[in-house]
Amino acid sequence: MKQRTTWGTRARGYVIGLSSFGLGGAATVGVLAAMPNRMPIVDLPDFLQGGVLTALYDRLPTVNMLKGLAKEPSTALAGASHAAKAFPPPSAAPAPFLLGPHFIADAAATAAPAVVNITVSKAGVPVPQDHSGTGFIYSTDGCILTNAHVIADALPSSDLANGYSSNSTSCSSRSSKPSIGTSKGSSSKPITIALQDGRIFQGSVLMFDRISDLAVIQITSSQPLPTVKLGTSKGLRAGEWVLALGSPLHLQNSVTAGIISCVDRKAADLGLPRVRTEYIQTDAAINKGNSGGPLVNLQGEVIGLACFKALSADGVSFAIPIDTAKDVIEQLQQRGRVIRPYIGIKMLQLTEHNAAQMRQQDADFPAITQGILVPHVAAGSPACKCGMREGDVITGFAGQSSNVSTNHLIRCLGQHVDKAMEVQVLRPGVGSVSLQVKVSEALQ
């Protein structure tokens, strides 16, 4: 009798977990206990020579690294599955673009006026300077986006760990329904906001989400405030020029430049346990104090927020994609919390090349060029209850079959929380099967 390869077992070393936590609401799926108030320090794998990732803030807890991550034999296949996404082919007819002597300075000048320095005070006396961070004004009514760990000392301890939205109606249109997790108090410690033009304001926490490490502060001014345009992190390419603006080592109004090193660096690549999200990796210099500062393109548009770096290596820094931040803000404004769906599966994105390699090892593997392999289904999960099995290949969902990607599936699941969603799978030895999965909300 022919022995069948169990693809769920073979793929476990490099799958993306729908049952794990990630950033940004509809862009994430998972379950995670409350994140600590500070971003973690993580030991890097041996192949990175013992470097550590550190959030750009002080008093950080440590998290053990997944040792030998790069030594898993399946990692090469996992990397190949998104190589085409990281390095798309050049445009057939690229538009002429000549870099002048001031192309970096011009981009910096566009965004810099809206970049602010953030300091949390205690009893009217500023805490040590290494408690400061960066943010940027993105709306005319004074809303500032930053990292939640930058203002952790100012967050009311009574609030839910997964974020809250205040009763303010500023920064965007808001739902008239009461927000779950709404704060009834105010920030426990003052927040001082310093602009590049010398003006200083007292800020108040408008909303935050510790899991995604994002927060919005608001200031009030009788005079117009500078703002920066929010761009998009969709369509970024490795090698694009970017700038990091902020207050590294308390040196306000600093600018560094570099390129995008990777557009979708997975948290698993960094040894971050249970975190299933993507970061923008850049070699632009980012240091303590840059936390929450903007990563901008050559048009001066924000494409990400600086969040942490590799301590023992130069030119290895990471930013939260701005599209993730937009989604978190939208959900906090509408619901008062971030909704993260859960169906209890792990996923592996299939491409023409890794699917062909799997067929070479197992003739029963479906002859497909795209799809999502399901290497594991959690017992008792919504996916298990609807009949999904380990080894199934998702070929369509929500009536769509043209864009079968993990990111798109996660977004669709986020739109179907507490609802049933149709999922089409190919099952070895059976063929096409249609399933109705009842999407649950992940526990926070």
What pLDDT, on the 0 to 100 scale, is given for residue 372? 94
What pLDDT, on the 0 to 100 scale, is given for residue 39? 41
Please, is 234 exposed, middle or buried when counting C-beta atoms within 10 Å of its C-beta (0-12, 13-18, 19+)?
exposed
What pLDDT, on the 0 to 100 scale, is given for residue 161? 52
β-bridge pairing 62-63 and 41-43: parallel
Cα distance between residue 397 and residue 391, in whole Å: 17
- The full DSSP string for 180-245 is TT--SS--SS-EEEEETTS-EEEEEEEEEETTTTEEEEE---SS------B---TT--TT-EEEEE
Q: Are 257 and 242 in contact (CB under 8 A)?
A: yes
What pLDDT, on the 0 to 100 scale, is given for residue 211? 84
Cα distance between residue 439 and residue 203, in whole Å: 38
3-state secondary structure 48-60: HCCCEEEECCCCC
Give the sign of the dihedral formed by CA 381, CA 382, CA 387, CA 388. negative
What pLDDT, on the 0 to 100 scale, is given for residue 29? 35
What pLDDT, on the 0 to 100 scale, is given for residue 90? 57
Cα distance between residue 425 and residue 387, in whole Å: 11
Per-residue confidence in pLDDT tens, the chain, 444 aa: 544 444 544 443 333 333 333 333 333 333 323 333 344 444 444 433 333 344 443 333 333 333 333 333 344 344 444 445 555 565 555 566 667 889 999 999 999 999 999 998 765 555 554 468 999 999 999 999 999 989 988 887 655 455 665 544 456 544 433 333 334 344 567 899 999 999 999 999 999 988 888 999 999 999 999 999 999 999 999 999 999 999 888 888 899 999 999 998 887 778 776 666 789 999 999 888 899 999 999 999 999 999 988 878 888 999 999 999 999 999 899 888 888 899 999 999 999 999 999 989 888 888 888 999 999 999 999 999 999 999 999 999 988 888 888 888 988 998 899 999 999 999 988 899 999 999 998 876
What pLDDT, on the 0 to 100 scale, is given for residue 27? 35
What pLDDT, on the 0 to 100 scale, is given for residue 275? 62
DSSP 155: S
Other residues' Cβ atoms within 10 Å of the Cβ of residue 332: 30
Digit-coded pLDDT (tens) for 88-136: 565 555 566 667 889 999 999 999 999 999 998 765 555 554 468 999 9
End-to-end CA distance of the chain: 46
Residues designated catalytic: 149, 213, 291
Helix (H, G, I), strand (E, B) or coil at 75: helix
